[in-house]
Amino acid sequence: MAKAYSDDLRCKILQTYEESDLGQEEVAEQFCVSYGYVKKIRRQQLQSGQMERQPQTRYGPVSRVTAQVEEQLRSAVRQQPDVTLLELAQRLEQSSGIVLRKSRLSQVLERLHLRRKKNPARRGTRQRPSPTKKTGLATGYRRHRGRAVGVPG
């Protein structure tokens, strides 16, 4: 992700624009920045009265997963490591009144590095048939439309 320009450059651009007869396009060209950037910082300067960048505010809603909720999750997983996400969500709703979906709860547990004992079945966990059985593949033949066909070697 691109980094913000420094406040020093920002101040130099705005001072040059105020002190000279140059337009915003010429100032942008002189400092090798976009015209849109000069236009934006000039508009911000007129609104706030400051040349420096305003501190960023938080975007989006504040998370319902507070430090207290995280501690409740830690203790619940410590007490019962094989608790399911659904059970954990129900306990959290009963104790704190906070409703979290399974996907969000899973994200929080992963961020807290809390592993649960129950793991979903993964591919390859089933036992494969032994090669001694007459499956056709072990003997060099395969089935095609009901009849055995030799497998080219």
Other Cβ atoms less than 10 A from the Cβ of 150: the count is 8
Q: Model confidence at 11, in pLDDT bands (50, 70, 90)?
A: very high
Contact 25, 10 (CB under 8 A): no
| DSSP structural state of residue 118 | -
pLDDT in tens, 29-78: 999 999 999 999 999 999 989 888 888 777 888 888 999 999 999 999 99
Residues contacting residue 31 through CB under 8 Å, at least 6 positions apart:
9, 12, 13, 16, 38
Q: Model confidence at 3, in pLDDT bands (50, 70, 90)?
A: confident
**Domain boundaries in the chain?**
7-48, 67-111
Rounded Cα gap, residues 52 and 146, in angstroms: 78
Rounded Cα gap, residues 71 and 114, in angstroms: 11
Rounded Cα gap, residues 27 and 41, in angstroms: 12
Question: What crossing angle do the helices spanning 102-111 and 85-96 adopt, rounded to 10°?
Answer: 90
Instruction: Compute the radius of gyration of the chain from its Cα atoms.
Output: 32
Q: Is the pTM of this model over 0.75?
A: no
